[in-house]
């Protein structure tokens, strides 16, 4: 019989491991009032996926307002980018060094652009008709990696409460001008960053929220905008409720009075 006591007759102790931290994610897109008036669909897209090993991957895309199939371009680009990263993660092939992360992220953008061009061919349209921006984020328990073409931004806050922008909007020389994924030079214009250390919260937003969430023109995060959102993610009961409340927030008078564009916001919080 096994002695239930440890050495010197003391009761034995069973080691209890703390639960591994995992990402909780909430995301929502809302059609802007200007698109409602013009009879246009929401041209933003957001795709995210939780993977094993405490990893998440997410993409936010914003179709060009003047492109007739830009909602399709945004949806195709976001899904393809996420699928590409998820396939590498399934093979345990996520990088270790920063340059390898850059190669992986740009490769996902290349795959997304190819997919958009195929979708354009199926529609007998020009790839410019599916023009879209793209932001791609990968979060682990030890880092956040991000790449971006176009406007919008990715924000991170660490365990110490320090908040910073991983990417900033590429608004070009003129108002409402930006780079799109289908542009010939788009892959050369990819912003990318790898932030190491323990992340606490990540936010990704489309350009419809830039004037509320960022101090422009520098793209510095407006902390009073993000602090309540990150507290909300820390306290909310579950992802379904988080998604519901986030959608209500984006559709609120507070938001719609300050922007008439489509808006997308993804929030991810690392929880124990």
Omega before 85 within 30 of 0, i.e. cis: no
205-240 residue pLDDT tens: 999 999 999 998 889 999 999 999 999 999 998 899
pLDDT value, residue 110? 98
CA distances for 180 relative to 23, 268, 272, angstroms: 29, 25, 38
Q: Which residue has the higher pLDDT, 66 or 172?
A: 66
Per DSSP, 130 falls in state: G
What's the whole-number mean pLDDT along residues 83-102?
Answer: 93
39 pLDDT band, cuts 50/70/90, is: confident
Contact 152, 204 (CB under 8 A): yes
The residues facing 143 across adjacent strands are 196
Which domains are delineated in the chain? 19-271 (3.60.40.10)
CA dist list (Å): 92 to 55, 87, 89, 249, 270:
11, 9, 5, 37, 21
Name all contacts of 222-226 with Cβ < 8 Å and 24+ positions apart: 223/163, 226/155, 226/157, 226/163, 226/201
Query: Helix 223-235 to helix 239-250 angle, to the nearest 10 degrees?
Result: 150
pLDDT average, residue stretch 189-214: 96
User: Could you tell me which of 93, 128, 91, 94 has the C-alpha nearest to residue 113?
Assistant: 128
Per-residue pLDDT of 236-245, as tens digits, reads 988 999 999 9
Higher pLDDT, 206 or 160: 206
- Banded pLDDT at 202 (limits 50, 70, 90): very high
Mean residue pLDDT across the chain:
90
pLDDT, tens digit, for every residue of 26-38? 999 999 999 888 8
The stretch 93-107 carries a mean pLDDT of 94
What pLDDT is stored for residue 159 in this prediction? 87
Please, which pLDDT band fits residue 1 given cuts at 50, 70 and 90? very low
What's the CA gap between 43 and 118, in Å, rounded?
19
The tokens for 204 are: 């990704």
Q: What gap in Å lies between CA 172 and CA 64, rounded to an integer?
A: 14
**Quick one: which of 58, 16, 97, 75 has its CA closest to 203?**
58
107/101 Cα distance (integer angstroms): 10
Q: Please, which pLDDT band fits residue 17 given cuts at 50, 70 and 90?
A: low
Is 166 a residue whose pLDDT tops 90?
yes
What pLDDT does residue 172 have? 61
Edge-to-edge strands, sheet with 191-196: 44-51, 55-62, 134-139, 143-149, 191-196
């Amino acid at each position: 019989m096994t002695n239930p006591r440890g050495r010197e007759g003391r009761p034995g102790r069973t080691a209890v491991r703390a639960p591994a931290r995992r990402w909780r994610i909430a995301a929502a897109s809302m059609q802007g009032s200007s698109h409602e008036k013009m009879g246009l669909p929401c041209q933003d897209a957001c795709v995210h996926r939780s993977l094993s090993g405490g990893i998440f991957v997410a993409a936010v895309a914003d179709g060009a307002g003047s492109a007739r199939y830009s909602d399709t371009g945004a949806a195709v680009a976001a899904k393809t980018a996420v699928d590409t990263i998820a396939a590498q993660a399934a093979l345990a092939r996520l990088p270790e060094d920063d340059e390898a992360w850059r190669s992986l992220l740009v490769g996902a953008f290349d795959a997304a652009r190819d997919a958009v061009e195929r979708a354009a061919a199926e529609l007998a349209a020009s790839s410019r008709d599916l023009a879209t921006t793209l932001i791609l984020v990968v979060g682990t328990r030890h880092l956040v990696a991000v790449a971006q073409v176009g406007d919008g931004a990715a924000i991170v806050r660490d365990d110490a409460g320090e908040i910073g922008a991983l990417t900033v909007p590429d608004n070009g020389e003129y108002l409402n001008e930006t780079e799109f994924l289908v542009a010939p030079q788009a892959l050369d214009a990819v912003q990318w960053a790898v932030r190491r250390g323990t992340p606490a919260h990540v936010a990704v937003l489309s350009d419809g929220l830039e004037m509320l969430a960022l101090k422009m023109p520098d793209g510095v995060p407006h902390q009073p905008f993000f602090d309540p959102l990150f507290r909300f993610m820390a306290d909310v009961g579950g992802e379904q409720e988080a998604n519901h409340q986030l959608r209500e927030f984006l559709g609120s008078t507070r938001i719609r009075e300050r922007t008439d564009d489509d808006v997308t916001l993804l929030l991810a919080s690392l929880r124990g």
